A and B are shown apart, each in its own frame.
Chain A
């Protein structure tokens, strides 16, 4: 019992990070119908940026995170601006473009930070909490709280603000949206920069849990992408459920199947997707191509 609960706690903390990554994937997909394959590498840049401001510039962790989010949001804007001429013209090229950007970002990271990577110390120095023999790291609680806040914030933004509503309108029918005076380009740019900001949030938060190097994006990206698919690509609640599910699944698979855990995780994932191709919260998918 204790082991089961401890495994659950471990899975949830990384699951929260996967949920953040999945949310970024979903937001861009929702508004543009585009899977941003550079997303995971933006998260890696975010992790590096946050660790640099935190460790090298000695800013408080929260401030370092905000600066890192600003940096990646700017990167998101640049990517959207470069891809904009292709919007509604060549969808495949846009996809390949995002893959290309991912590779460029990895190369840039190696140029700036070198190849060795760095360990980030936890910003919460207190000892783990002990709840009936289950150890909960205070930093994990922080990560889950921040992730929850981000989910609520994003949901509020999409549902309650004019900008958010406009973005949803663009997603549903961009021609009609243009007709009523919504700037599609600006809406897309906003989606891309928020998505990139979420990536930095995920990357920055995961830094003290893992190790920051140029290959971090690979580790986060594949699980985040699977989480987005499992929850239903484009759905924000789906991203959260998918992220937590992948995190917990991964954790249990590691316990029961040891060296074959990755195989088991993805077999279960494949089976789930075969039973429900649109994912848990799957809606009719957006297709703008």
Chain B
């Protein structure tokens, strides 16, 4: 700088031009591989499908099962030769169970031109991602079950299982009509899932003429439930409805038994999982009544086949969430096949038109994106969910 103070314009200009050229080259180079290879609607190259699910945090077991289920379906299709000769490329994104992380991922899916998304297992995250995916016309097959998903009214959102209303109407009918219980206590959390369960169950039992003896609401990160459980105990309920995710539900049941509450618990999908039974303890979970579209691995030939494949691939017992994602992925892949690899609106229409006999039931999507409106009742016996006798 100090040695030559005379400005030398030609060199500077040349340098600037060079720099600009290099920059431009770099930009195009960066842009090229992602952009040119997968134009939306490209009819060659792999079909990019994303799985978005929690891989860390308290809900990561859900995410893990979901991914394994979806992966199994995709691997089977790829083994059969893919779709129209194209392989299906599955990529996993970790949303950490967090809606903000989820929306960031949604934008990434748009910019990286994913054809469709499978996941998430969490209604709150799916709802957060919904608008971005709807605008970009990326169909999403979610495992969430909150009625809030339906309220989103996105034509690109499909549920690969029943909604809370379905789960809890079946459950309420079983408890009130079949079992004749009148004294029902409720404990739910104020998260997206818990709130949905709370509203759905309350509406159902009230419709059957029963008002819950007590209605306790806890927070999603609460760990100590003496206050709520003592109130529940004082009402001497015949059954306790529980609306919270696996781990929290497990803690509630464990603490309830320690407080001397002997009434059985009843709930939806989370109460049928090994994580719930593990957290509560086998004895505490005994007799829990579960409303679920997938009770066990040996109900039908299809579920036996799925469970065997799952066991062979991952060395683990299959359960409902894996089955749900397996069904969801199969529906998506069938729709891709019938529409010959269509994207956007056309793919969404193809999914809506798909009739699929799955592990969870007969999928027939209505205008709201719900495909299944039936669950069955199971009971936990000896640490396993078995069909109600």
Given known A117-B247, A135-B258, contact A215–B58 (CB-CB < 8 A): yes
B153 within 8 Å of A (CB atoms) = no
Q: Which of these, B189, B224, B279, contacts A10 with CB under 8 Å? A: B224
For B247, what are the chain A residues with a Cβ–Cβ distance below 8 Å? 117, 211, 213
Most chain B beta carbons < 10 A, residue from A10, A135, A247, A258: A258
What 1/0 mask marks residues of chain A from 253 to 265 whose CB sits below 8 Å from any chain B CB?
0111011111000
Given known A9-B226, A10-B224, contact A215–B57 (CB-CB < 8 A): yes
The answer to whether A14 and B251 have CB atoms under 8 Å apart is no
For B225, what are the chain A residues with a Cβ–Cβ distance below 8 Å? 10, 254
For B216, what are the chain A residues with a Cβ–Cβ distance below 8 Å? 258
B222 within 8 Å of A (CB atoms) = yes
The answer to whether A254 and B278 have CB atoms under 8 Å apart is no
List CB contacts (< 8 Å) of A237-287 with chain B: 247, 250-252, 254-256, 258-262
For B279, what are the chain A residues with a Cβ–Cβ distance below 8 Å? 119, 211
The answer to whether B219 and A259 have CB atoms under 8 Å apart is yes
B234 within 8 Å of A (CB atoms) = yes
A231 within 8 Å of B (CB atoms) = no
Alpha-carbon separation in the docked complex, A258 to B225 (Å): 10
List CB contacts (< 8 Å) of B82-136 with chain A: none
Q: Which of these, A9, A115, A259, contacts B56 with CB under 8 Å? A: A115
List CB contacts (< 8 Å) of A192-218 with chain B: 209-211, 213-215
Alpha-carbon separation in the docked complex, A210 to B27 (Å): 51
The answer to whether B223 and A14 have CB atoms under 8 Å apart is yes
Alpha-carbon separation in the docked complex, A133 to B255 (Å): 15
The answer to whether B190 and A259 have CB atoms under 8 Å apart is yes
Given known A7-B230, A135-B260, contact A117–B58 (CB-CB < 8 A): yes
Alpha-carbon separation in the docked complex, A49 to B216 (Å): 35
For B218, what are the chain A residues with a Cβ–Cβ distance below 8 Å? 254, 258-259, 261
The answer to whether B56 and A10 have CB atoms under 8 Å apart is no
Alpha-carbon separation in the docked complex, A137 to B259 (Å): 8
Alpha-carbon separation in the docked complex, A262 to B64 (Å): 29
For A137, what are the chain B residues with a Cβ–Cβ distance below 8 Å? 258
What 1/0 mask marks residues of chain B from 200 to 235 whose CB sits below 8 Å from any chain A CB?
000000000000000011110111111110110010
For A251, what are the chain B residues with a Cβ–Cβ distance below 8 Å? 224, 226-227
For B250, what are the chain A residues with a Cβ–Cβ distance below 8 Å? 119, 211
A52 within 8 Å of B (CB atoms) = no
B281 within 8 Å of A (CB atoms) = yes
The answer to whether B64 and A11 have CB atoms under 8 Å apart is no
Q: Which of these, A7, A115, A262, contacts B221 with CB under 8 Å? A: A262
A81 within 8 Å of B (CB atoms) = no
The answer to whether A10 and B221 have CB atoms under 8 Å apart is no
For B231, what are the chain A residues with a Cβ–Cβ distance below 8 Å? 3, 255
Please give me the residue from chain B that is nearest to A223 by CB atom. Answer: B223
Q: Which of these, A115, A128, A254, contacts B260 with CB under 8 Å? A: A128
Alpha-carbon separation in the docked complex, A262 to B224 (Å): 12
Alpha-carbon separation in the docked complex, A30 to B255 (Å): 36
Given known A210-B251, A261-B219, contact A10–B61 (CB-CB < 8 A): no
For B281, what are the chain A residues with a Cβ–Cβ distance below 8 Å? 119, 121
B275 within 8 Å of A (CB atoms) = yes
The answer to whether A128 and B258 have CB atoms under 8 Å apart is yes
The answer to whether B64 and A115 have CB atoms under 8 Å apart is yes
For B334, what are the chain A residues with a Cβ–Cβ distance below 8 Å? none
The answer to whether A6 and B230 have CB atoms under 8 Å apart is yes
The answer to whether B226 and A10 have CB atoms under 8 Å apart is yes
The answer to whether B227 and A116 have CB atoms under 8 Å apart is no
A118 within 8 Å of B (CB atoms) = yes
The answer to whether B61 and A258 have CB atoms under 8 Å apart is no
Most chain A beta carbons < 10 A, residue from B222, B230, B275: B230
CB distance from B68 to the nearest CB of A (A): 12
The answer to whether B278 and A214 have CB atoms under 8 Å apart is no
Alpha-carbon separation in the docked complex, A7 to B278 (Å): 25
Please give me the residue from chain B that is nearest to A106 by CB atom. Answer: B56
For B223, what are the chain A residues with a Cβ–Cβ distance below 8 Å? 14, 209-210, 219
For A57, what are the chain B residues with a Cβ–Cβ distance below 8 Å? none
For B230, what are the chain A residues with a Cβ–Cβ distance below 8 Å? 2-3, 6-7, 255
Alpha-carbon separation in the docked complex, A10 to B260 (Å): 14
Given known A258-B218, A259-B190, contact A116–B275 (CB-CB < 8 A): yes
Alpha-carbon separation in the docked complex, A260 to B189 (Å): 11
Given known A119-B278, A135-B259, A135-B260, contact A211–B226 (CB-CB < 8 A): no
B145 within 8 Å of A (CB atoms) = no
B368 within 8 Å of A (CB atoms) = no
B55 within 8 Å of A (CB atoms) = yes
What 1/0 mask marks residues of chain B from 34 to 60 whose CB sits below 8 Å from any chain A CB?
000000000000000000000111101
Alpha-carbon separation in the docked complex, A247 to B226 (Å): 12
A144 within 8 Å of B (CB atoms) = no
Please give me the residue from chain B that is nearest to A137 by CB atom. Answer: B258
Alpha-carbon separation in the docked complex, A250 to B225 (Å): 10
For B58, what are the chain A residues with a Cβ–Cβ distance below 8 Å? 117, 211, 213, 215
Please give me the residue from chain B that is nearest to A8 by CB atom. Answer: B226
The answer to whether A250 and B224 have CB atoms under 8 Å apart is yes
The answer to whether A115 and B227 have CB atoms under 8 Å apart is no
What 1/0 mask marks residues of chain A from 104 to 115 whose CB sits below 8 Å from any chain B CB?
000000100001
> Can you add 20 more A-B contacts, CB < 8 Å, to A3-B230, A116-B61, A128-B260?
A2-B234, A3-B231, A7-B230, A10-B225, A10-B227, A115-B56, A115-B61, A116-B60, A119-B275, A119-B278, A119-B281, A211-B58, A215-B58, A251-B227, A254-B222, A254-B225, A254-B228, A255-B226, A255-B228, A259-B189
Please name 14 pairs of A and B residues whose Cβ atoms are closer than 8 Å in the assembled complex, sorted by A: A7-B226, A9-B226, A10-B227, A115-B55, A119-B250, A128-B259, A135-B259, A251-B224, A251-B227, A254-B222, A255-B226, A255-B231, A256-B227, A259-B219
Q: Would you list the 7 A-B pairs with minimal beta carbon distance, nearest first?
A: A10-B226, A255-B227, A259-B190, A115-B60, A259-B217, A258-B217, A119-B279
